[in-house]
Amino acid sequence: MQQETHFTLAPATRVPRIWTGLWQLSSNAWGSAPAQRVRDAMASYVAKEYTAFDTVADHSGPAEDFFGQYIKNLPEAARPFGAVKWAVVHPMEITFNVVEAAIDERRTRMQTPRLDLLQLFWQDYQDRSYFTALRHLLQLRSMGKIRSIGLCNFDTRRTDEICTVLGPGAIVSNQVQFSIVDVRPLHGMCDICERHDIKVLAYGTLCGGFLTDQWLGKAEPELYSSGLTPSQRKYLDVILKAWGTWELFQGLLRALRDIADRHEGVSIANVAVRWVLEHPWKPGARLGLTDHADENKKVFEFTLTERDKAEIEAVLRQSNSAAMIMTIGDCGAEFRR
């Protein structure tokens, strides 16, 4: 069974539904690898048709550099899609020159005359200069320095407001956390994105790797264990403090394993990603630069049955997932406390 593996992000821009995240390159806390090994891994992903890469949210840095080093000797037709972010986390005067300098820095690092997708993160909603920043970004788009503009971790209210004020076609996407565990986008965000014809780009789809066979039957880890990555500490905190208990999470993994067994040859991770991708507003999902490229392709070889969905929902009803929109807040609220 062959599923649609790509979607239209913007006019004349078809991209894979599974993107490759480069956030592991943002800090030595993830470990380190020689530059050539990283470039080889990127080449391997592209050869397997994972042709969209996404960089980290909080700053410009190594991820953009690695992307640029990888594409610099490729013919334009062979270059993968590169999404980048600009995060405004401290108050600043938003002038055209400031915005242009931020974009030019990312163009230089990524060694491209035009950014495929610039995603804006804005820390302080009380400072409504994000409208000024977005209007400058639209001007830079008209100048050919940006192909498309997206949002990153904007909440439902501001996403609706921005798309309404700037009009159709100004914004193409909003990247937010979305998984079987974190269902907050189902409480308004998906409706807004459908209304304005923008795409949801989901990250955290596997909760830092917890929604995998690796954690089935395992004891609850210590939050600050040296064996956990920064991402795993973040998602473990969500699982234990906002979603439910480790015991219930193991129940979810068992349910996902049972579903995977019925579909033969797929993994818990495949089922978790499939659950995200099957929503009617057809989100994309960002996964990490790992050794699971071949496994990830199986996501498009099956669909969830009504029985599958009912078994997942039966576990979610025992959790606090529906209340997370209140306890954590809307999409991106965890970054604005």
Q: What is the DSSP string of 314-335?
A: HHHTTSSGGGHHHHT-STTGGG
Decide if 200 contacts 185 (C-beta within 8 A).
yes
3-state secondary structure of 52: strand
Closest CA to 129 of 88, 177, 183, 101: 88
**How many C-beta atoms surround the C-beta of residue 72 within 10 A?**
11
- Identify the pLDDT of residue 36: 81
Number of other residues whose CB lies within 10 A of the CB of residue 13: 14
The number of beta carbons lying within 10 Å of the beta carbon of residue 163 is 22
Contacts of 317 (CB under 8 A, 6+ apart): none
Higher pLDDT, 193 or 41: 193
- Largest CA-CA distance found in the chain, in angstroms, rounded: 57
Which tens digit of pLDDT belongs to each residue from 46-87?
999 999 999 875 555 688 988 999 999 899 889 999 999 999
Q: Which residues contact 279 (CB under 8 A, 6 or more apart)?
A: 186, 190
Identity (one letter) of the amino acid at 113?
Answer: P
- Mean pLDDT, range 193-207, rounded to an integer: 95
285's enclosing H/E stretch is strand 284-288
Q: Could you give the CA distance from residue 199 to residue 175 in angstroms, rounded to a whole number?
A: 8
**Which has more pLDDT, 230 or 82?**
82
pTM higher than the cut 0.85: yes
pLDDT of residue 224: 86
Ramachandran angles phi, psi of 67, nearest 5°: -60, -45
Cα–Cα distance measured from residue 95 to residue 180, given in angstroms and rounded to the nearest whole number: 40
- pLDDT at residue 22, rounded to an integer: 83
